[in-house]
Chains A and B, each alone.
Chain A
Amino acid sequence: MKNLKIINVRFFAQTSSVLRMTGRELMKKKFSVVGTNVIREDGFDKVTGRAKFADDYKFDGMLHAVMLRIPETHAKINSINYLEIENDASIISIITSADIPGSKKVGMIKNDQPIFCDEVVVTPGDVLAMLVGEDVSRLRSALSKIKIDFSPLPVLTDPKKSLEPDAILIHPELGSNLIIHHPLRKGNIEKGFDESDQIIEQTYTTQLIEHAYIEPEAVIAIPLGVNGVKIIGSIQNPFSARRIIAAVVNLPLDKVQVIQAQLGGSFGGKDDIMCILSARAAVAAIKVNRPVKIRYTREESILESYKRHPYILNYKVGFTNSGKIKAMKIDILADGGAYCSMSPFVTWRSVVQATGPYEVENVHTDVRAVYTNNPYTGAMRGFGSPQPIFANESLMDEIALKLGITPYEVRKINGLKAGSITATGQKLQNHDVNLLTVLNVAAKDTDFLNKWKKYKKDKSIVKKYDFTKSVFNDSQFIEPDQLIKKGIGLAVSYRGCSLGAEGIDAAACYLSFQNDGTAYLLSGLAENGQGLRTTFSIIVAEELGITTDNIFYLETDTSRVPDSGPTVASRATLMGGGAVKNAAEILRGRFEELIQEEWKLKSEDEIVFRDNKILTTDNRSLITFKDLCKLAASRGINLSTIGWYKSPNVDWDEHTGQGDAYFTYVYGCQIAEVSVNLGTGEVYLDKITAVHDPGTVINKLGAEGQVYGGVTQGAGYGMLEEVTTENGLIRELNFDQYLILTAKDIGEIKPIFVEGKEIYGPWGAKSLGEPTLELTAAAISNAVSNATGNRFFNLPLNLEEVLLGKKLRPVEVKRGSLR
C-alpha cells in the first residue's frame, strides 16, 4: 500500500433532477470536514490495546459455558446421558433445549435453526447442549463423559443432488430442500438467441469461504431479575440479536438490552451466529441467575459459524458480431448448507445483478438456494455479488476474445448508461450512472489497452504435464527468461445500495448538544470496525461547522436509540448518515431561528456555521458555537433530537423478477496487474487499481481503508481462500490451514474515487464497503488469463488451479503434525 495518492474526480449529472438538495447546499462548493482525512476515533484505543472487546469484560460471579457437539454431519440423537457428570461439582448447570422458555428454533428469515439440537444434528457445527460452570478447562473435560447415543443418517453434501426426487431431506418438515427460488424473466429469451450471431455457454464455480474476523465469537449475558437480561457481545447487529434473544427467552423487547462491545472484525459474519450464542448465554444466565460468558476458540468459530455461499453458475450468452449482447440465460445454484439463514436475501441480490452492469434486452435467470448438510452459509461482505461477478466478468472477456475486440470495448458497447434499463426492468436515473466513467478512468490510469494487447496470449502457454510419467521431457522445461509472465485484467460492477426490496429501510440517530457546545451522538446502526462513528461525527461537524473532537460517540445499546435495522448492505453511510444529517439539520434549524431573533436578521440573510463560529455571509462573526449552545439552553431550547432517514420505496415482482430493485446504485472498476510464475502457478499481485463511485466521500481516510481491506479480501477470495470439507467435516479449522493473504502478498493498491452526483444520502454519499471486495477476484482471473492464455472457471486460482486447471485435495482431514 505504497501509493496513497487519491485522485478525486467530480462528474456532474447529465439529468439534474435534484430532489432533496436545497439551494444553499448546491451553492456550497467547499466542505470543511467532509472529504478530508479524519483519523478514526477508535483507532488509538485499538492499536494500544485499550479497546475493550467482549472477552475483556468480567463480572463478579461470572460463569462460562462450553458446547456439547458430536463429530457427525447428519445423525439422529437417540439419547444423551449425563449420569457420569451429575455429581461433578465443577458443573453448575447443564443447559438443554428443555431450559428454553420461548422459541426453540430461530432464524433471520426462516425459523429452522435450533438453539440446541437435541433431536437431530444436520451439520457438524450443531450444538446439542451446554455445560455451565466456573472453570472452562474442567467443563471441557466433563464433555467427554457425556454419553451420546446417536444413529448416523445419510449425508447430503452435493447441492446438485439436493433437489433430486430421492434426495434425503435436511429438514423433513419443510418437505423440500429448496430454500428459495428467484426467477427473473425479461423480454423473449428465444428471440434474443435467434438474433445472436454467436453463443457462449459456460459453467463457473465459486468456493466456500470463512469471514476470518480476527476476534472469535464472545458474549456475556447478565441476568437482571424482573428487568430481564443484558447482553454484551461481539455483535454485528444488536437489534437482530435482541429480537432473537427476546423470542428465545420469551421476554418483551424492552427487557432485553443488547450492548455492542468493540468488534474485532465481522465482515457480515457476526450476525446469526452471535444472535444464537447470545440467546444460549441468556437462557443459561437466567436459569442460574449469574452472568454467563461464551467465548469460542478459533476452531469452534470456524466449525460453527456460517460462511460465504459456494455457487455453481451456468451462463449462456448470445451476442452479435458487433459485440452487442442480445440474450442471457443464467442458472445459479447456491449451497445454503444446513440452515436457511440469509440465503433468500443473498441470492436475491444475485438475481438482480447476475447479468452484470450491462444492457441486456432478453434475460432469463433462475437462482436457487438449497439445503445440504454442509456448513451453513449466510451474509458475508459482498452478499451474493462476488460469485456472479466472477462469472459474468469472465464471460465478458470471453466474448471479447471470441470477437477479437478488447475487454474494454465489449464493456463499453454493453455497459449501463444514464437512462439504461437494467435486467430487472429498472430505468437508471436521478444519479450519475458512472459505469463507463469508472471504466475509462481505470483504463486510462493503468494504460490498460496497450498492456492488455502486449501481454495477450493467443493460446495457452501453460505446460501440460503427464502425471503418470514422473520425468520431464525436454519441451516441458521453461526457458528461464520465460518463467514469469505479466498480465492485466479488469472487472466492472454496479451494485444496488442498501437493502432494496429485502425489507423496510430506515435508520435513526440520537444527537444531543450540551450547553458547552459538545455533543453526544449515537446511531441505531453499529460500528463494525468500518469507521462508522467517525463518519457520523464528520457529518454532524460539517453541518454545524464544528470539529469532530467536540462529538462523543456513545456505546451502541439497543435501549438508547431506535431500531435502525441491521448494519449490512453497505448502508451505514447512506442510511445511518442520512439520519445523522437529518438530526443535525433539525438542530441547526433551531439554532438559526434563535440567531435570527437574537440578531434581528432578515429572513433571506444566510447564516454560516464555520470554524466553531456562527458568521453572516459578509463574514461578520456573531457568536461562537459554544456560546450559542449556552444561549440556546438558557432560552429553554431543546438541543437534543432523534434524526430519521427512510429510503424511498422500491418495488419487486417476485414472479417475474421485475421492478425497481434498489433506489440507487454505485459503480466500480478494478484492474489487476499480475505476474504469473509458469513453473509453479504462483500469481504475484503487482498492482490493483480500484476506481469506485461511492457518491460523495465523507472520510477520505476511511474510504481508502475500505479499498485496501476490500481489495485484499477480494484477492484472497480470488487466489487462496477455501474452506474444504470431507463428508461435511471442515478440514481447515484454524489459520495454520485456512490461509488468507498477508501484507507481503499484496502489491500496490491504488484507490481512485469518482464522486458521482446523488440525490439520496448525506450530500450524496452512498456505498463503498462491499463494492471494493466484489470485483477483485474477477479482475485477477482475467489478468491471469491475459498472462497465460488459459481461462479459469473455478475459484480460487490457487497454485494447482493455475498450473493444472484443477484442485487437489489431501486425503486426510487431520493436520500432518498431529501424528
Chain B
Amino acid sequence: MMPLIEILTPKNLNEVLSILSNHDKVLKIIAGGTDVVTGLKQESNRFIDAEILIDINHIAEVKGIEQRNGKISIGAATTFTEIYKNQIASKELPILKKAVSTIGSLQIRNRATIAGNFVNNAPCADTVPALLIYNATIEIESINSKREISLQEFLQGPYKTQLKKDEIVTRINIPVPPKTFVGDFYKLGRRQAVAISRITLAVLMELKENNINEIRIASGAATPIGTRFPDLEKFAEGKVVNDNFLRSLASKIGDEIIKLTGLRWSSEYKLPVVQQMFYQMLNRMTKRIK
C-alpha cells in the first residue's frame, strides 16, 4: 500500500539543499521514481519511512550533458532516453550508450535517471559497470559541503552508498577516453526487454601493437554490486593478445567472482556463462581492433 507522502518541487539547487538540511523529517530525493515508487508499493525498508519526497526533475543544475576540458559532465537527473539521444554521449561514451539502451523499456528509459541508478545501487544496476570502466567521478553537494569522489568509492554494497542524509548527487563527470580505446558492454537477461540483468560486463581497453596497454573490466549482477577487477586488469596489462591469453583471462574472471560472491544458488549457471560470454566479448573486441 502506498503511504501518504508530501512531495516538494523546489526550483533550484539551493532550495533542494536547504530542504535537505532539515533533519526533523525523513526526506528522500525522487528523480524518475522508477525505484522509489515501486519500492514504496512493495513497502521496501529503504523507502517506507519517507515523509517528504523532493522532486529534482526540474532543477537545471542537475540536468543536461556538457563537454568541457576533456571531460563529459552529465547532470544527475538526466534520463536514459536523453543520454541515448545525446550526440556527445553517443560519440564519446558508446559503452554507456549501449548500457543505457538495454535498460527496461522505452517507458522506463523516458523516466529513469542515471544517478537514480547508482544511488539505488542494485546489484543489477546496468549503468554502473559502464560508468566504472570510464573512471567516472561524481559531484555531491549539501548545504555546507561539496565534494567529488570516484563512483567506485561511492558505492559501498548492495543498495548502500556513501550518500549522507543531507546530500544530493549533482553531476557525473567522465574523462573522455582517448580514441585508441575500444570497449563493449554485454547484458544477459531472461528476456529481450524489461529484464533484470543476470550478468553484465563492461570492458574498455587500449592495444598497442598486439599488446594490452591498458584494460578496464567491470561486471554487475554476477557480483554483489557493480565492480571493477583490479587483479584481472593487472594480470592482463602488457600481455600479447592471442586466443590462449583470452581464454586464460576469461577463465580468471570466474575465480574473481567466486572470491567476491561465494557460491550461490545461481552460481552453477552464472559462473560458466560469465566466463564464456567474457571470452566471446573479448574476441569480438580484439577482432574489431585488428
Contact = CB atoms under 8 A, between A and B. Distances in A.
A672 interface: no
Interface in B256-284: 257-258, 265-269, 271-273, 275-277, 279-280, 283-284
A465 B272 CA distance: 7
Contacts of B42: 815, 817-818
Contacts of B123: 816
B67 interface: no
A137 interface: yes
Interface string B25-50: 00000000001001100111110000
A141 B250 CA distance: 52
A472 interface: yes
Which of B42, B45, B198, B272 gathers most chain A CB within 10 Å?
B272
A478 B276 contact: yes
A467 B268 contact: yes
Interface string A454-472: 0000000001010100111
Contacts of A798: 190
Contacts of B213: none
Nearest to A466: B272
A808 to B, nearest CB: 6
B158 A819 contact: yes
Interface residues of A, number: 42
Residues of A contacting B: mostly: loop
Interface in A715-737: 720, 736
Contact of B267 (A467, A473, A679): A467
A172 interface: no
B250 A799 contact: no
B273 A680 contact: yes
Contacts, number: 113
A476 B257 CA distance: 18
A30 interface: no
A799 B276 contact: no
A817 B44 contact: yes
B191 to A, nearest CB: 5
A461 to B, nearest CB: 14
Contacts of B267: 467
Interface residues of B, number: 47
A472 B269 contact: no
Interface string B221-258: 00000000000000000000000000100111011011
Given A679-B280, A815-B42, A745 B193 contact: yes
B194 interface: yes
Contact of B271 (A470, A680, A819): A470
Contacts of A745: 191-193
Interface in B34-74: 35, 38-39, 42-46
A165 B105 CA distance: 52
Nearest to B44: A818
Nearest to B252: A471
Interface in A136-172: 137, 140-141
B193 A137 contact: no
A808 B269 contact: yes
A487 B114 CA distance: 40
A483 B186 CA distance: 15
Interface string A664-686: 00000000000000011110000
Contacts of A480: 280, 283-284
Contacts of B35: 817
B188 interface: yes
Contacts of B190: 720, 739, 798-799
A803 B275 CA distance: 14
B193 A810 contact: no
A178 B251 CA distance: 52
A443 B122 CA distance: 47
Contacts of B269: 681, 799-800, 803-804, 808
A742 B194 contact: yes
Contacts of A818: 42-45
B181 interface: no
B280 A483 contact: yes
Given A467-B267, A745-B192, A680 B276 contact: yes
B5 to A, nearest CB: 13
A639 interface: no
B272 A476 contact: yes
Contact of B191 (A470, A478, A744, A816): A744
Contacts of B2: 137
Contacts of A141: 1
Given A483-B280, A720-B191, A470 B255 contact: yes
A477 interface: yes
Contacts of B251: 471-473
B31 to A, nearest CB: 17
A474 B188 CA distance: 23
B71 to A, nearest CB: 33
A711 to B, nearest CB: 16
A798 B277 CA distance: 18
Contacts of A19: none
B277 A739 contact: no
A742 B284 CA distance: 28
A741 interface: yes
Given A476-B272, A680-B273, A680-B276, A739 B45 contact: no
Interface string A475-490: 0111010010000000
A472 B272 contact: yes
A809 interface: yes
A819 B159 contact: yes
Contacts of A471: 251-252, 254-255, 275
A543 B87 CA distance: 61
Interface in A789-816: 798-800, 803-804, 808-811, 815-816
Contact of B277 (A470, A474, A679, A744): A679
B265 A810 contact: yes
B254 A744 contact: no
B1 A140 contact: yes
A47 B271 CA distance: 45
Interface string B178-207: 000000000010111111101000000000
A798 B191 CA distance: 10
Interface in A660-717: 679-682
Contacts of A808: 265-266, 268-269
Contact of A744 (B39, B44, B158, B192): B192
Contacts of A679: 273, 276-277, 280
A800 B188 CA distance: 13
A140 to B, nearest CB: 6
A475 to B, nearest CB: 10
Interface in B122-137: 122-123
A800 B265 CA distance: 12
Given A470-B254, A680-B273, A817 B159 contact: yes
Contacts of A682: 188
A739 B191 contact: yes
Contacts of B38: 736
A474 B46 CA distance: 45
B268 A804 contact: yes
Nearest to A733: B42
B193 A477 contact: no
Nearest to B4: A137
Given A739-B190, A816-B123, 10 more contacts: A137-B1, A470-B255, A471-B254, A476-B272, A679-B280, A681-B269, A742-B191, A808-B265, A817-B122, A819-B158
16 contacts: A467-B268, A467-B271, A471-B275, A480-B283, A483-B280, A680-B277, A681-B273, A739-B190, A739-B195, A742-B105, A742-B194, A803-B269, A803-B273, A815-B42, A819-B45, A819-B158
Interface of B: 1-2, 35, 38-39, 42-46, 105, 122-123, 158-159, 188, 190-196, 198, 247, 250-252, 254-255, 257-258, 265-269, 271-273, 275-277, 279-280, 283-284
Q: Which 10 A-B pairs have the closest CB atoms?
A: A744-B192, A679-B276, A465-B272, A472-B251, A744-B193, A470-B254, A471-B251, A742-B193, A467-B268, A480-B283
